Structure 1
Amino acid sequence: MRILVTGAAGFIGYHLSQSLLADGHTVYGLDALTSYYDPALKRTRLDLLQRQNGFDFGQIDLTDAAALGVFVAEAEAEVVFHLAAQPGVRYSIENPQSYIQSNVVGTANLLEALRQHLPKHLIFASTSSVYGGNTTMPYAETDRADSPLSLYAATKKSGEALVHSYSHLWSIPSTCVRFFTVYGPYGRPDMAILKFAHALAAGEPIDVYGHGRMQRDFTYVSDLVAAMVAIMEKAPVMGRPVAGDSLSAVAPFRLLNLGGGRPVALMEFIASIERAMGANARLNVLPMQPGDVVATQADTALLKALIGELPTTPLDVGIGRFVAWFREYYGT
Structure 2
Amino acid sequence: MAQVDPGFWAGKRVLLTGHTGFKGAWAAIWLSRMGAKVTGLALDPDQEPSLFDLAGVSDVVDSRIADLRDPAAVEAVLGETRFDLVLHLAAQPIVRTAIEDPVGTFATNIMGTAHLLQALRAQPALQAVLVVTSDKVYANAETGRAFAEGDALGGKDPYSASKAAAEIVTASFARSYFDKAGVPVATARGGNVIGGGDFSRDRLVADIVRAARGQEQVVLRHPEATRPWQHVLDCVAGYLVHAQALATRPDAPRQLNFGPRAGGPEVTVGELATLGCEALGAQPWRHEPDPNSLEARSLAIDATLARQALGFESRLDAPDAVALTMDWYRRQADGEDARSLCVEQIEGYVARP
TM tier, smaller: 0.7 to 0.9
- In structure 1, what is the equivalent of residue 204 of structure 2? 192
- In structure 1, what is the equivalent of residue 320 of structure 2? 317
Question: What is the alpha-carbon root mean square deviation over aligned residues?
Answer: 2.3
What is the identity, as a one-letter code, of the residue corresponding to 1:72?
Answer: L
Q: Is the 8 A contact 2:130 2:186 kept in 1?
A: yes
Cα distance in 1 for residues equivalent to 2:310 and 2:32: 21
2:163 is the alignment partner of 1:156:
yes
TM-score, scaled relative to structure 1: 0.87
2:27 is the alignment partner of 1:27:
no
What is the identity, as a one-letter code, of the residue corresponding to 2:213?
Answer: A
Could you list the per-position Cα deviations for residues 124-182 of structure 1 after superposition, in whole angstroms to 9, with x for gaps in the alignment? Answer: 11011112423351110111123x12111111111111111110111241111111100
Q: Is the 8 A contact 1:4 1:77 kept in 2?
A: yes
Match among 209, 213, 230 for residue 224 of structure 2: 213
2:50 is the alignment partner of 1:44:
no
Q: Is the 8 A contact 1:33 1:42 kept in 2?
A: no
Cα distance in 2 for residues equivalent to 1:288 and 1:226: 37
Alignment of 1:2-17 (within 5 A): 2-17=13-28
**Structure 1's 203 and 50: CA in aligned 2 closer, same or farther, altered over 3 A?**
closer
TM-score, scaled relative to structure 2: 0.82
Q: Secondary structure at the match of 1:177?
A: strand
User: Tell me, which stretches of 5 or more residues in structure 1 are unaligned?
Assistant: 248-253
User: Tell me, which stretches of 5 or more residues in structure 2 are unaligned?
Assistant: 1-11, 336-353
Could you list the per-position Cα deviations for residues 54-81 of structure 1 after superposition, in whole angstroms to 9, with x for gaps in the alignment? Answer: x211111112212211211223111101
What is the identity, as a one-letter code, of the residue corresponding to 1:219?
Answer: Q
Q: Is the 8 A contact 1:5 1:17 kept in 2?
A: yes
- In structure 1, what is the equivalent of residue 259 of structure 2? 259
Q: Quick check: 307-316 or 168-177, which moved more?
A: 307-316
Cα distance in 2 for residues equivalent to 1:257 and 1:221: 14
Q: Percent identity?
A: 24
Q: Is the 8 A contact 2:220 2:287 kept in 1?
A: yes
Q: In the TM superposition, what is the alpha-carbon distance from 1:287 to its structure 2 partner?
A: 4.4
- In structure 1, what is the equivalent of residue 98 of structure 2? 92
Q: Is the 8 A contact 1:7 1:85 kept in 2?
A: yes
Q: In the TM superposition, what is the alpha-carbon distance from 1:194 to its structure 2 partner?
A: 1.0
Q: Is the 8 A contact 2:42 2:66 kept in 1?
A: yes
Cα distance in 2 for residues equivalent to 1:311 and 1:237: 22
**Structure 1's 241 and 51: CA in aligned 2 closer, same or farther, altered over 3 A?**
closer
2:152 is the alignment partner of 1:144:
yes
- In structure 2, what is the equivalent of residue 327 of structure 1? 330
Equivalent residue pairs, number:
314
Q: In the TM superposition, what is the alpha-carbon distance from 1:30 to its structure 2 partner?
A: 1.0
4+ aligned runs moved over 3 Å, structure 1? 327-332
Q: Secondary structure at the match of 1:81?
A: strand
Q: Quick check: 174-183 or 199-208, which moved more?
A: 199-208
Q: Is the 8 A contact 1:175 1:236 kept in 2?
A: no
Q: Is the 8 A contact 2:105 2:159 kept in 1?
A: yes
Cα distance in 2 for residues equivalent to 1:192 and 1:265: 11
Q: Is the 8 A contact 1:188 1:194 kept in 2?
A: yes
